[in-house]
Structure 1
Amino acid sequence: MAKGVLSDNLSNISVISAGCGALAGKGADPVAIELMAERGIDISLHIAADLNIEHAMRSQLILAMTLEQKKEIERRYPFSKGRVFLYSAQDGNDVIDPYRKGRDVFETSLAQIDRGAGYWVSAINRLRK
């Protein structure tokens, strides 16, 4: 969902989605697809991928959904330090993982994603000027 929200708000910037221990090869959850479709954002073709060294090397910015993920990325790829930030940097909270939970948890997670996207879209757009 975060990739969909960020991509929708950042023109001319490549946004990829990769996780730490992601269910690589799996599609987006039907609830996530439905919530995003309600916003006019299609994530139905999303396939989960695990963050790899190529992603870490090529990315100018890596946003981790949890503090634990941030630490794991920096442990795996020490050269990425200084480019890895918490998605919810504005409040320092982890984004709830809604996987295998109800629609209400997906909605809560999406609200957190929206807040984080607002922060990052503003920050990125300031840097682009």
Structure 2
Amino acid sequence: MFDNILVVCVGNICRSPTAEFLLKQALPNKIVHSAGLGALVDHDIDATAKKVAEQHGLACPTHSARQLTKQLCREADVILVMENNHKEGITRLAPEARGKTFLLGQWNNNQEIPDPYKKSEEAFEHVYKLIANNCNLWAKKLAK
């Protein structure tokens, strides 16, 4: 069914790895991974994103940001993005993936999740809560 879940943002160092780790924790029998439309390739998760996530009890293993590819889109059963413009980026890269690409905030009035990169710790805290809430909603749907 939906066993291969791909989470996408821009740099693949803040939002998508956070969502990846949350979904891996909630869905241990699924393949969950992440990538970026403009990835900071090989960078670890942002230090502030990691700090905030760990303060909430989320384990953040070493991460290596990677660029989104047509192949990753093709292999994924579902692709979760943070903003509507990410859907458009995926459609330009892999038009066939459009039908399986959804906002992480799909079940929360199509909520978009803003990029906290280079912002305050409070911004990261706000974004973490949005990601955690929306990952919880997706985990309930994908666990079936």
Report the TM-score, using the length of structure 1 for normalisation.
0.91
Of residues 61, 76, 90 in structure 2, which corresponds to 1:73? 90
Matched, 1:85 2:102: yes
How big is each residue's C-alpha offset from its partner over 1:19-53, in whole Å with a ceiling of 9 and x where there is no partner? 11121121111111112222333324112111111
Q: How many residues align?
A: 126
Higher normalized strand content (fraction of residues): 2
Paired with 1:25 and 1:121, the residues of 2 have a C-alpha distance of 27
Alignment-derived partner of residue 108 in structure 1:
126
Matched, 1:7 2:12: no
Paired with 2:133 and 2:50, the residues of 1 have a C-alpha distance of 19
Instruction: Identify the structure with bigger relative contact order (alpha carbons < 8 Å, sequence gap 6+).
Output: 2
Alignment-derived partner of residue 35 in structure 1:
52
SS of alignment partner, residue 22 of structure 1: coil
- The letter for the 2-side match of 1:123 is K
Paired with 1:22 and 1:108, the residues of 2 have a C-alpha distance of 22
Alignment-derived partner of residue 20 in structure 1:
37
Measure how far apart 1:69 and its partner are: 0.3
Alignment-derived partner of residue 95 in structure 1:
113
Identity of aligned residues (%): 28
Measure how far apart 1:78 and its partner are: 0.8
- Runs of 5+ in structure 1 lacking a partner? none
- Runs of 5+ in structure 2 lacking a partner? 1-17
Alignment-derived partner of residue 63 in structure 1:
80
**CA RMSD of superposed structures (Å):** 1.3
Runs (4+) of structure 1 moved beyond 6 Å?
A: none
Measure how far apart 1:59 and its partner are: 0.3
Measure how far apart 1:65 and its partner are: 0.8
Measure how far apart 1:10 and its partner are: 0.6
